[in-house]
Structure 1
Amino acid sequence: MTQAPTTVVFDLAIIGGGVAGLWLANRAKSAGYSVAVFESGDLGGGQTLASQGMIHGGMKYTLAGALTGASEAIADMPRHWRECLCGEGDVDLHHTRILSDHFFMWSGDDLGSKLTSFLASKITRGRVEPVHPDRRPPLLRHPLFNGSLYRLEDLVIDAHSLVANLAHNIEGHCFKLDWSRTELHQDADGQLFLEIKNPDQDLQIRAQRFIFTAGKGNAGLLAKIGKCQPAMQLRPLQQVMVKHHHPFDFYGHCLGTDTTPRLTISSHRLPDGSHVWYLGGNLAEKGATMAADELIALAEHELRNLIPWINLQGSAWATLSIERAEPLQPGLARPDNAFAERVAGANLMVGWPTKLTLVPNLANQMLEFLREDEIHPSTIKPDYPMLHSYLPYAVTGKTPWEIAFPPKMSAEEALALRFKESDENDA
């Protein structure tokens, strides 16, 4: 006879281990809920680690000449993140690495006067400031630079350390899900549950609420239970990475004539200390349908036009195709805010943060749903070690540039070689 499955019950079962699911799990755990995060890949391995890490207040959405709904919705987000990074906010991020406490917007002569008049208006006063030539970043401190340059008092974080920090805060609560032996069901009462197949005894995971924060994977999860709402749209991108030899860290948007930046540059380091520029903006949107070599040629052309004094000879290039997942919008427009919604007839909520900056907003919406639905923390605590006997812990993924530019030797081999050289020199 087949044994009845073992059951473990949580207050919240979150499927999707990117920044949205991890942030929500941090908030929920602090509020007293028992919570588990389930991820089929690596933590942050989808959109999160492919992010450029810019926590902005919406100023890049002013390119059409007015503050939009998107810019106003996120105007306060940098302050919220700064509080968390100082260990004083609703999520403790004091172990997250800050790459820069500001970034730049610059333009060529064709847009300079329009940009100057708009950014100097009372609407944006205090959110940006012009940069005196003596205070330019090294990359733009060249006689050939003739554009307008503004500094935004926003920040750039290291996405890998963010994921590691969030996972560390809820250590022992993040599990790797193998869909080849896992099924998602909905019973006659509308209650979702996961069933983990096991040779000895199956396991059922139940929860007061299931929450899908799997980005692009949300549509597939909904399809498993025969649902197609809330609907999703995908925004395809192809980012460019260039491993170069210049010791210039730079974070900024170059403005063009479109409503998105012509080019966005963020700087990152490989484990061996090498420098990588990660290129996005309109370049990545145009590049979505291009072959990798064609997009790399376009990126080289853009960099030669915008910063011709930089010699990129000998650089290594790579691209990354990603699909940014968002709630479906009329005309496939960009969402102005984070999106969260209850699914009718199920103990389920689904959400997309839509932008890294708005992740805290998504968690606020989800927690408000719990309060409105009177979902309270249970006094019965689940058996996390027993769950771990069925599922391994999920681990933080690698960054795109670590994957694109793998080291020629492992850290252990490099260390061994260093000690071997020291021994020979001593001899």
Structure 2
Amino acid sequence: MPPSRKPPQKVHLDVAVIGGGIAGLWLMHRLRSSGLSRALFEQEALGSGQTVASQGMIHGGIKYTLGGTLTGASEAIKDMPQVWRDCLEGSGQVDLSAAKILSDHFYLFSSGGSASKVGTFFASKLTRGRVHPVSGDERPEIFRHADFRGSVYQLVDLVLDVPSVLDALSAPLRDQLKKIRSTARWQRDAEGNAVLFADADGETLEVHAQRFILTAGLGNEKILEQLGCRTPQTQRRPLQQVMVRHHLPHRFYGHCLGAEKTPRLTISSHPLGDGTWVWYLGGSLAERGASLSPEKLITEAQRELCELMPWVDLGDCQWATLPVDRAEPRQRNFARPDKAAALRTDNCANVIAAWPTKLTLAPNLADEVLALLHEDDIQPAGGDIGALQTLPEPRVAPTPWEKAFA
């Protein structure tokens, strides 16, 4: 339907969140006790993009210590697994008791002697309580095979079923979640503030907010460009993940230790509706895979798995890949950010651009945004969210493996 020619209907909110991934939904929950009028706007489906493409890992940073030392990244997120566990138990800042846990632990495994240096580090007091070695029947089933010669460590990390987290977060917010069309556009008003225009069933909504919080991942870049903002700038770090549909009994969640300071391979397991499971492969494999064709990457993944787990029969597996761009605030030399970031823009006083940078840090991002709202003394001024009822509610996005193996 073409945009309406009627005068736009003005809608005023205290806070408008743009982007319905876990970061945006988490922030909406944290705003519930603020008294601020609020709504979340999503252009596609809840979690579409980076959220449903994640492996669901809530990690405490041990994977960033594979060089044998603590790092800024490892220390920034060391407490996050407990923050999430409290929420999963219904006693945290957000109630996630309805979400599903795929695994209470994540593992780190090595092949042969590759863990000697990092094993010494893991035994030190610096990582006490965050990682410990396991052997014998304590190991995941896949590493109880007689041919396995490496070491296995259990981490405090956990793995969540991301769609169930999206369901748990979105269910109490239904009347505040609004789907907008791809024709939505941004302008600056006479005072230099951002205004959102969204078409809805024969009319145009003109949305004003004391603060627009951008949690749209890759979409942040486009919005900032439309508003003429020069800062903050964004960066993209591309991946190409591999999906392996199988009938194996092994549901594994872990990193493979390699020669680099990042995991050689990261494996998570996810259910399909027909009872089969998918191994979702990331780590250095996915980073290298960003520059490979899907066919070459699948061949590389098969070679890696056969080398690391030669006793596992991959004969009747189905394979697919998923390109993913990780959107982040620009860093010097395009380095990986250590922390979540909520940043004011240079020429729109009512816009905050936000990136969790990692699923794990969604709670931290909400803290950062709330701190900025407090600094700016944003107070409830009322709102007319009822005027948004002509906008439909967005659904939860399907997972990449549901689409790949439909």
TM-score range, shorter chain: over 0.9
Measured after TM superposition, the shift of residue 196 of structure 1 is: 2.6
Would you say 1:193 and 2:192 are equivalent positions? no
Would you say 1:27 and 2:30 are equivalent positions? yes
Structure 1 letter corresponding to 2:341 = F
**Structure 1 gap segments, 5+ residues each:** 407-427
Structure 2 letter corresponding to 1:398 = P
Cα deviation, 1:309-340, whole Å, max 9, x if unaligned, reads 00010110000001001111111111010011
Structure 2 letter corresponding to 1:393 = E
Cα deviation, 1:279-315, whole Å, max 9, x if unaligned, reads 0000000000100011001000000011110001011
Would you say 1:41 and 2:41 are equivalent positions? no
Mapping for residues 69-108 of structure 1, pairs under 5 Å = 69-108=72-111
Measured after TM superposition, the shift of residue 259 of structure 1 is: 1.6
- C-alpha distance in structure 1 between counterparts of 2:200 and 2:151, whole Å: 62
Would you say 1:274 and 2:270 are equivalent positions? no
- C-alpha distance in structure 2 between counterparts of 1:403 and 1:332, whole Å: 31
Q: Which residue of 2 aligns with 1:295?
A: 297
Structure 2 residue matching 1:30: 3-state secondary structure: coil
Aligned pairs, number? 401
The alignment's TM-score, normalised by the length of structure 1, stands at 0.92
Mapping for residues 28-427 of structure 1, pairs under 5 Å = 28-180=31-183, 182-197=184-199, 200-346=202-348, 347-378=350-381, 380-384=382-386, 386-389=387-390, 391-406=391-406
Structure 1 letter corresponding to 2:223 = L
RMSD: 1.3
Structure 2 residue matching 1:179: 3-state secondary structure: coil
- C-alpha distance in structure 2 between counterparts of 1:47 and 1:176, whole Å: 18
The alignment's TM-score, normalised by the length of structure 2, stands at 0.96
**Structure 2 gap segments, 5+ residues each:** none
Aligned residues of 1:247 and 1:275 also touching (Cα < 8 A): no
Measured after TM superposition, the shift of residue 78 of structure 1 is: 0.5
Cα gap change, 1:326 to 1:200, in 2 (>3 Å): closer
Structure 2 residue matching 1:311: 3-state secondary structure: coil
- C-alpha distance in structure 2 between counterparts of 1:201 and 1:300, whole Å: 53
Structure 2 residue matching 1:29: 3-state secondary structure: coil
- C-alpha distance in structure 1 between counterparts of 2:362 and 2:335, whole Å: 19
Aligned residues of 1:55 and 1:77 also touching (Cα < 8 A): yes
Cα gap change, 1:146 to 1:207, in 2 (>3 Å): same
- C-alpha distance in structure 1 between counterparts of 2:282 and 2:203, whole Å: 48
Percent same amino acid at aligned positions?
52
- C-alpha distance in structure 2 between counterparts of 1:113 and 1:261, whole Å: 15
Structure 2 residue matching 1:303: 3-state secondary structure: helix
- C-alpha distance in structure 2 between counterparts of 1:53 and 1:61, whole Å: 17
Aligned residues of 1:219 and 1:228 also touching (Cα < 8 A): no
Q: Which residue of 2 aligns with 1:414?
A: none
- C-alpha distance in structure 2 between counterparts of 1:13 and 1:255, whole Å: 42
- C-alpha distance in structure 2 between counterparts of 1:200 and 1:319, whole Å: 40
Structure 1 letter corresponding to 2:186 = L
Q: Which residue of 2 aligns with 1:423?
A: none
Measured after TM superposition, the shift of residue 24 of structure 1 is: 0.7
Aligned residues of 2:38 and 2:385 also touching (Cα < 8 A): no
Structure 1 letter corresponding to 2:389 = H
- Rg (Cα) greater in structure: 1
Structure 1 letter corresponding to 2:179 = K
Cα gap change, 1:172 to 1:73, in 2 (>3 Å): same
Measured after TM superposition, the shift of residue 208 of structure 1 is: 0.8
- C-alpha distance in structure 1 between counterparts of 2:325 and 2:309, whole Å: 29
Aligned residues of 2:229 and 2:346 also touching (Cα < 8 A): no
- C-alpha distance in structure 2 between counterparts of 1:84 and 1:201, whole Å: 40
- C-alpha distance in structure 2 between counterparts of 1:46 and 1:123, whole Å: 36
Structure 1 residue matching 2:55: 3-state secondary structure: coil
Cα deviation, 1:4-45, whole Å, max 9, x if unaligned, reads 432121111111111111111111123222211111111101
Measured after TM superposition, the shift of residue 343 of structure 1 is: 1.4
- C-alpha distance in structure 2 between counterparts of 1:196 and 1:112, whole Å: 54
Structure 1 runs of 4+ with >3 Å offset: 197-201
Q: Which residue of 2 aligns with 1:418?
A: none
Structure 1 letter corresponding to 2:70 = L
Cα gap change, 1:198 to 1:106, in 2 (>3 Å): closer
- C-alpha distance in structure 1 between counterparts of 2:46 and 2:383, whole Å: 24
Structure 2 letter corresponding to 1:10 = L
Structure 1 letter corresponding to 2:166 = V
Aligned residues of 2:221 and 2:233 also touching (Cα < 8 A): yes
Cα gap change, 1:305 to 1:190, in 2 (>3 Å): same
Aligned residues of 2:13 and 2:385 also touching (Cα < 8 A): no
Measured after TM superposition, the shift of residue 345 of structure 1 is: 3.6
Structure 1 residue matching 2:389: 3-state secondary structure: helix
Structure 2 letter corresponding to 1:250 = F
